[in-house]
């Protein structure tokens, strides 16, 4: 009896957590099929009485949508989404390449100051973005990178790289060095042994790092707001522009949110097995 009660309590907690996590997403999805009048109706209702695709059409043909508020943001959303994809892919790629080299060095090489350097990476990850945004703005202004996607690639990479190094270093320690030695005995060069033996084994950790860096960069708001305020801004800044001081078009805002979560959702769904395996191995051995 006690075991059954514990099981039902566990099921209840899981159902409550699932509802807590999914309810805002489901509400956003349903709201994207409502008109502005229906979204503001009293009393409010969850299910659209007259579902419409006009909010989605506003992003395809913003000039013919008839939206009084959010029309400019709807027209800018495709370019903003492309900017976010470019920045996120660059950040993910740099995290994989740089994190692999640094993580391998920490996992395989014994050099002076290794532990201190690892702790410094962790401390750097703890510094809030608000505390360094003014120095970063000054540096990027001196380099002429303001309102350029390169500024976001550099800043987001610096934000995500410490975690990638820690995760990869912890995962690389779980790979037996004998595999590399066996490859060298078979007359493989170090680079060939890395490409043919070591990195294929580390695919779960590499996938976890890439997806983590992609999602962190995809959802970044502060740095794009400060460093790319013009046409080169990214998706979160454009979505935030739907909320104006005059009125909020809740249908367009919800539709923009739905379009914004689709790419990371697909990415996480495709690589979920590798993400869980890489994160779990790095957490246990780190």
Task: Could you please state the CATH topology (level 3) that the domain comprising 69-285 is classified under.
Answer: MetI-like fold (1.10.3720)
Looking at residue 243, the DSSP 8-state letter turns out to be B
Structure tokens at 276: 């869980």
Domain boundaries, the chain: 69-285
Nearest Cα neighbor of 68 from 81, 54, 80 is 54
Q: What is the pLDDT of residues 223-244, one digit of tens each?
A: 898 898 777 888 888 887 777 6
Does pLDDT of 284 surpass 50?
no
Angle at 270 between CA 266 and CA 272, to 5 degrees: 110
Determine the pLDDT at residue 281. 57
Q: What is the pLDDT of residues 39-81, one digit of tens each?
A: 777 787 788 888 888 888 877 766 554 454 556 677 777 888 8
Determine the pLDDT at residue 156. 92
**Stretch 248-273: mean pLDDT:** 80
Rounded percentage of the chain residues whose pLDDT exceeds 70? 89
**Stretch 93-110: mean pLDDT:** 89
Q: What is the pLDDT of residues 183-214, one digit of tens each?
A: 777 777 777 777 777 888 888 888 889 988 99
Q: What does each C-alpha distance from 162 to 5, 58, 239 come to in angstroms?
A: 44, 40, 28
Model confidence at 94, pLDDT cuts 50, 70, 90, reads very high
pTM above 0.75, yes or no: yes
β-pair partners for 248: 243
Average pLDDT value for the chain: 81
**Stretch 159-172: mean pLDDT:** 88
């Amino acid at each position: 009896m006690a075991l059954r009660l514990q099981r039902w309590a566990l099921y209840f907690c899981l159902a409550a957590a699932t509802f807590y996590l999914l309810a805002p997403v489901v509400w956003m999805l349903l709201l994207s099929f409502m008109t502005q009048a229906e979204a503001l109706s009293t009393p409010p209702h969850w299910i659209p009485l007259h579902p419409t695709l006009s909010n989605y059409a506003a992003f395809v043909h913003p000039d013919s949508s008839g939206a009084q508020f959010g029309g400019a943001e709807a027209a800018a959303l495709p370019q903003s989404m492309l900017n976010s994809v470019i920045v996120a892919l660059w950040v993910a790629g740099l995290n994989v390449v740089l994190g692999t080299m640094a993580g391998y060095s920490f996992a395989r090489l014994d050099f002076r100051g290794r532990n201190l350097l690892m702790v410094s990476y962790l401390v750097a990850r703890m510094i809030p973005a608000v505390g360094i945004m003014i120095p970063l703005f000054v540096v990027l202004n001196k380099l002429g990178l303001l309102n350029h996607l390169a500024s976001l690639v550099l800043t987001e990479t610096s934000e995500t790289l410490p975690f990638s190094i820690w995760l990869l270093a912890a995962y690389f320690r779980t790979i037996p060095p004998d595999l590399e030695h066996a490859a060298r005995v078979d007359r493989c060069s170090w680079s060939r042994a890395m490409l043919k033996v070591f990195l294929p084994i580390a695919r779960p950790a590499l996938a976890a790092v890439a997806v983590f860096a992609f999602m962190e960069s995809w959802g970044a708001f502060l740095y794009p707001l400060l460093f790319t305020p013009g046409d080169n801004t990214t998706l979160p800044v454009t979505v935030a522009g739907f909320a104006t001081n005059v009125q909020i078009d809740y249908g367009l805002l919800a539709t923009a949110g739905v379009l914004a979560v689709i790419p990371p959702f697909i990415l996480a769904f495709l690589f979920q097995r590798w993400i869980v395996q890489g994160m779990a191995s790095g957490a246990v051995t780190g």
